Amino acid sequence: MSKYKVQVDDLEQGMFVSELDCSWSETDYLLEGLMIQSDDDVISLKRYCKHVFVDSDRTHQSILPHLDTLSKKSETTTQESSSDNIHLAKAADKEQTDFQVEIKIARDIHTRTKGYIVTAMEDVRLGNSVDTEAAKELVSGMTESITRTPNAMMWLSQMKKRDEYTTIHCMNVCILALSFGRTLGLDKTELQLVGLGALLHDLGKMRISLDILNKPGRLTREEFAEMKKHPTIGYDLLKEQGGLPDAVLDIVLHHHERINGGGYPEGLMGENINRLAKIVSIVDVYDAITSDRCYHDGIAPYEALKDMYSWVNDNFDKELIEQFIKCLGIYPIGSMVQLNTGQVGIVVSASEKSRLRPIVLLLINSKGEHYKRSKLINLAHPKLAQGSQPLDIKEILDNSDCDIDVPAVIANESFAVQ
């Protein structure tokens, strides 16, 4: 068999494509290999790659004399595009460096925010006022970090512990709301509002009995009725204290409303629910179902997105859910993945320009052994993304499939760069 490298634009009917310049798994094709039968086949391939490899043995005989000329043309084009690869490499290196720099800043904000939430919840429990000015300052810091390098704070949002759910949940909902809001194009003022409402959204729970909050089983009807009071409790105490915009208070009050009117506390429907509250309601559910809690284990990010999309008609704004899925990407941060080499790692950061080729923290080598020091790689880098066997993601794994303590991995600041 002879293989000829051909630019996608030069493909003709009768050519058999045996390889792409990317992995077949990154495309919608169910099987590897494609006979070009129409212009639509060429248009479809252009969505995924720039050049392909044509198998001469399975290509129509009438085209064979033309293949050599097209292959030489492709090589010339490849040489001309080498400068583009240099730019791509620099961009990939910068993305990885920016993440490593920002993660140090984000860790400090994350630590201070966690301390704030612990104090604020204790203040609510004791009947003291909440320091909302400190909350505004912390949300501003988060907003700036997410604006610079959005995935650093998102990476830290995976540092979850079952016994700290309520505290960490408030931080994660804030991080997710800010990241989602940035994707939606919210301005700085709107980001501050949605972030502040998200950070404070569950303070009312501190006036609910701990027996109900920490109950390991399903709540009774009476217990759930008590739990449903927490948005109103939080709203009332923050409104009485003063100093917060109405939009923030609205988020605290309405983050459990659903578009079909089946939410609480007021049973609002559709457009009667403020857009910022809709945003927080989506990220609130996402973090809740992906977290280990006293009464259930969290599910994988991609499973959560699939489930939430199936619930859209009754619960969420469809357009916002679709935008949220786009925001998190095909491989949401925190997803456990296996590469085509057999290596296993966690998705750390997903470039908006390369959703299929994220930054991955490798934890297990191809032999199934844990690395002594985890390795950070950017799959979008040309040296990994191109060639006859590019490095890519083979499948998403369930976290329970691997003996990996994800929070401990995220808490560790030390990793090598491959």
Q: How many CA atoms within 13 Å lie on the side-chain side of 8?
A: 18
- On average, the pLDDT of the chain sits at 87
Per-residue pLDDT tens over the stretch 324-346:
998 888 888 888 899 988 999 99
User: Binning pLDDT at 50, 70 and 90, where does residue 159 land?
Assistant: confident
Section 309-319 average pLDDT: 93
74 has pLDDT over 70: no
Greatest mean pLDDT among 99-103, 117-121, 355-359, 381-385 lies in 117-121
Separation of alpha carbons 412 and 406, rounded Å: 10
What is the per-residue DSSP string for 398-410? -GGGS---HHHHH
pLDDT above 70 (res 128): yes
Query: For residue 279, how many C-alpha atoms fall within 13 Å in the half-sphere facing its CB?
Result: 31
Q: Could you count the other beta carbons within 10 Å of the beta carbon of residue 101?
A: 13
* Separation of alpha carbons 70 and 4, rounded Å: 8
What are the tens digits of pLDDT across the range 173-225? 999 999 999 999 999 999 999 999 999 999 999 999 989 988 888 899 999 99
Pick the range with the lowest mean pLDDT from 98-102, 252-256, 282-286: 98-102
In the three-class reduction of DSSP (H, G, I as helix; E, B as strand; rest coil), residue 389 is classed as coil
Instruction: Answer whether residue 23 shows pLDDT above 90.
Output: no
CA distance 143 to 177: 10
Q: What are the pLDDT digits (tens) for 364-379?
A: 988 888 888 888 888 8
- The pLDDT assigned to 80 comes to 47
Q: What percentage of the chain's residues is helix, strand, coil (to nearest 5)?
A: 55, 15, 30
At residue 198, the pLDDT reads: 98
* Domain spans of the chain, in order of start: 3-80, 100-328, 336-417
Amino acid at 153: M
The CATH number, out of the four listed (1.10.340.70, 3.50.50.60, 1.10.3210.10, 2.60.40.10), of the domain defined by the range 100-328 = 1.10.3210.10
